[in-house]
Chain A
Amino acid sequence: MTTLDSGVDSLADVTSSEDRLRRFLLGLPGVDQVGAEARAATLSTRSIKTTAKAYALDLAIRMIDLTTLEGQDTPGKVRALCAKAMRPDPADSTAPQVAAVCVYPDLVATAKHELRGSDVKVASVATAFPSGRSSLAVKVQDTKDAVAAGADQVDMVIDRGAFLSGRYGLVFDEIAAIREAAGDAHLKVILETGELVTYDNVRRASWLAMLAGADFIKTSTGKVSPAATLPVTLVMLEAVRDYHESTGLHIGVKPAGGIRTAKDAIKYLVMVNETAGPDWLDPELFRFGASSLLNDLLMQRTKLATGHYPGPDYFTLD
């Protein structure tokens, strides 16, 4: 447990004023950087084989938010991505569907139309993604547009400038406002850990986002390097675990960016199981933001099924 020993009675009090919020966030215990990195490195040496590997590969596929967030995205590309989301391996109908397709707000309608009748959700980034540099009114409207177009999930970015300069109240209010604008849509809050610099900041931002009403906390936009790393995800998983112990609520975690191989994905799953617990081994509570990861998972899956190594020529291009 890392929480609630900073002089507050309950989490409701914490958010009653900016002063208290700041005192709570700054009172969170610091992250042992060397310890977190060593723990992540140790967990990634676990060997996952045979049936456990087959389970992990399928689970990882079901956890993918298949993402395309490029200036060059076209409706055609989004349609192709949706087809892949629903039937990842055209040659193998036993391959599961991915969790969601993640696009820019203007392409939500295209994706929604393409995915009609399937269980694959549509996620949209919003709030002046990826920098988050515009007024609250614009961000709220951006979110409303995405939801109106049919987005089931909204991935918002926090105002890193405000966070780094200590204006936690501003960040909190913004997340709360987007939470309201998003309505029933699932809200994922992108911390952009690559810009937060320290693990202490990652822990504070995680708590801030959860207190403000996030359903998911997400590492990065994928536009900043470093994107998702194992130690950062470890710190966030510890935060959701501790938040669960304090409140009973389950908050999801989504590492995004830089996860390209099945091996990496399995390392994350091991860490989820060991840190947050088996409850989080579920697409409702853990997601991968990725695009090229899917092909590698499918290739590993084919290797397990056929006994020989497949090549990238046999899978669709992203």
Chain B
Amino acid sequence: MPTKAASDKPGTRLEVRKTYKLYIGGAFPRSESGRSYVVNNAKGKFLANASQASRKDARDAVVAARKAFGGWSGRTAYNRGQVLYRIAEVMEGRHEQFSSEVALSEGLSISKARAVVDASIDRWVWYAGWADKLAQVVGSSNPVAGPYFDFSLPEATGVVAVLAPQDSSLLGLTSVIAPAIVSGNTVVAVSSYERPLPAVTLGEVMATSDVPGGVVNILTGSASEVGPWLASHLDVNAIDLCGIEDPDEARDLEAASAENLKRVRRPAEEDWTESPGLSRLTQYLELKTVWHPIGL
């Protein structure tokens, strides 16, 4: 009689390992370049292999983001807010997964990691609430010396490239993506290089939470490699450099961004646990002023 195979015993089943991929245009492709890199945990032990995005992945992501822009910015602010709430809901369901990834990536205790995930979910809710209040706060009706009803409205600027923070892999990432998309922009985000796993999972959340494909695109890999292509890309309207730690590199990227007058947000020391305020939210807006004749 043959002996029972080892794999039949309980507790010895073959694990199904996750393949970490990019998130572009609502799909999960591998990098066009075929490259991947080793992701270690905070203690230097092997954690996973993640796709290493190339300039062509960035190019594809910008095309996807541009394609999604018309539809997303054309939705009502109320509807965009609902979609952001939905992101928070779906994240809540993945709480444990996010907590363990944050704990492994950032070297936090599991209880601290849970607090970070809570804060990230709360941040989505906070920004979701702003969706239909933004116009009242930053828009205005302007008294002018003529028979005009004159008013200013905030509108989305377009495709925003985000080089996400290197240290805060989930709360930081959330805090830079949410303010861009809530007003109708679409985003190409490059995740933290050493801590990409929460970003990959956030991509999976986006894919299952009513966010149209292409509104958020997440690339894992090196901001220094992909950043210059995004900075010089003429179809990108704004760039957030917060993931760039070297000041010279940030300066070069800002110079490259000048070609098409991108809105640039320079890197700065930021405490992601603080209440974010409106500065990121208002960074990616264009103010449209309308002069409407009256009394004629």
Contact = CB atoms under 8 A, between A and B. Distances in A.
Interface of A: 307-314
Contacts of A311: 66, 233-236, 260
Contact of A314 (B59, B229, B234, B256): B234
B62 interface: yes
Chain B's interface size range is 10 to 19
9 contacts: A308-B229, A308-B233, A309-B59, A309-B235, A310-B235, A311-B233, A311-B234, A312-B235, A313-B235
Contacts of B234: 308-311, 313-314
Contacts of A314: 234
Interface of B: 59, 62, 66, 229, 232-236, 256, 259-260
B43 to A, nearest CB: 39
A314 B260 CA distance: 10
A308 B256 CA distance: 10
A311 B235 CA distance: 4
Contact of B259 (A308, A312, A313): A308
A116 to B, nearest CB: 35
B183 to A, nearest CB: 20
B160 to A, nearest CB: 14
A307 B234 CA distance: 11
Nearest to B59: A309
Nearest to A303: B59
Given A308-B232, A311-B66, A313-B235, 4 more contacts: A308-B234, A308-B256, A311-B235, A311-B260
A193 to B, nearest CB: 29
Pairs A-B, 10 closest by C-beta atoms: A311-B235, A308-B232, A311-B234, A309-B233, A310-B234, A309-B59, A314-B234, A309-B234, A308-B233, A309-B235
A71 B110 CA distance: 65
Contacts of A309: 59, 62, 229, 232-235
Contacts of A310: 234-235
Nearest to B230: A309
Looking at A309, A310, A312, which has the most chain B CB atoms within 10 Å of its CB?
A309
A314 B236 CA distance: 12
A314 B259 CA distance: 12
Contacts of B62: 309
A296 to B, nearest CB: 11
A194 to B, nearest CB: 26
Contacts of B66: 311-312
Nearest to A314: B234
A187 B289 CA distance: 55
Contacts of A307: 232
A94 to B, nearest CB: 19
B164 to A, nearest CB: 21
Contacts of B260: 311
A307 B55 CA distance: 12
A313 B233 CA distance: 12
A307 B236 CA distance: 15
A308 B230 CA distance: 9
Nearest to B234: A311
A309 B233 CA distance: 5
Nearest to B237: A311
Nearest to B236: A311
A307 B66 CA distance: 20
Nearest to A310: B234
Contacts of B235: 309-313
Contacts of B59: 309
B154 to A, nearest CB: 21
Contacts of A313: 234-235
Contacts of B236: 311
Contacts of A312: 66, 235
A312 B233 CA distance: 11
B122 to A, nearest CB: 36
A7 B270 CA distance: 84
A308 B236 CA distance: 12
Nearest to B231: A308
A258 to B, nearest CB: 18
A296 B66 CA distance: 15
A314 B232 CA distance: 14
A307 to B, nearest CB: 8
A307 B256 CA distance: 12
A312 B159 CA distance: 13
A309 B231 CA distance: 10
A307 B229 CA distance: 9
A89 to B, nearest CB: 14
Nearest to B233: A309
A153 B166 CA distance: 60
A89 B55 CA distance: 25
A316 B235 CA distance: 15
Contacts of B232: 307-309
Looking at B234, B236, B256, B259, which has the most chain A CB atoms within 10 Å of its CB?
B234
Nearest to B62: A309
A292 to B, nearest CB: 14
A308 B231 CA distance: 9
A307 B235 CA distance: 14
A78 to B, nearest CB: 28
A314 B235 CA distance: 9
B235 to A, nearest CB: 3
Nearest to A309: B233
A111 to B, nearest CB: 31
Nearest to B256: A308
B56 to A, nearest CB: 10
A36 B8 CA distance: 47
